[in-house]
Amino acid sequence: MKKITLVLVIFSLILSTAIIKNSAKKNEDKIFTVQENTRVLSSELEKIKLEFDYLSSSDRLLQFQSLYFENDLVQKKIENIKVFKIMNKNKKIENLKIIKD
């Protein structure tokens, strides 16, 4: 009787150890996947932030204008900007409407 209980105890310990190891491995895999996704997204965020900061400054845009476009870009009055709308096969040109929040 003692041998059977000893075998059952050992078997249950081995089984519980295997189950715990398996669940721990699954959790580690999930953590690794989340960390990799976070790393990729962080890298992408840094690139986008750099691009935004670099290109969105007004001084930088003026430099690009003088470097690449010189006389090609002309300032327009906002009243002269038109909007082309297509609704149900009807084409319409309207003035730009600016809505303030």
Domain ranges of the chain: 2-72
Place of tokens 């690139």: 47
**Residue 68 and residue 60 in contact, taking contact as beta carbons nearer than 8 Å:** no
In this predicted structure, what is the pLDDT of residue 14? Answer: 94
Intervals of the chain under pLDDT 70 = 73, 101
In this predicted structure, what is the pLDDT of residue 101? Answer: 61
In this predicted structure, what is the pLDDT of residue 13? Answer: 93
pTM above the 0.85 mark? no
What H or E segment, with its residue span, contains residue 98? none
In this predicted structure, what is the pLDDT of residue 26? Answer: 95
Q: Using alpha carbons, list the distances in angstroms from residue 1 to 5, 11, 33, 37.
A: 6, 15, 48, 54
Tens digit of each residue's pLDDT (9 = 90 or more) over 5-17 = 999 999 999 999 9
